[in-house]
Amino acid sequence: LLDEARGGSEQALRGLVEAYTPHVLRVIRRTLHRKLRTKFDSMDFAQAVWASVLGRRDQLATLESPEALGAFLAAVARNKVVEEFRRRLGTEKYN
Quote the pTM value.
0.83
Q: What pLDDT is attached to residue 5?
A: 80
Q: How far apart are CA 63 and CA 76, in angstroms?
A: 14
State residue 58's pLDDT score: 79
Burial class (CB in 10 A: 0-12, 13-18, 19+), 46: buried
Q: What is the mean pLDDT of each run of 10 residues along the chain (95 residues)?
A: 81 92 95 84 93 85 88 95 83 60
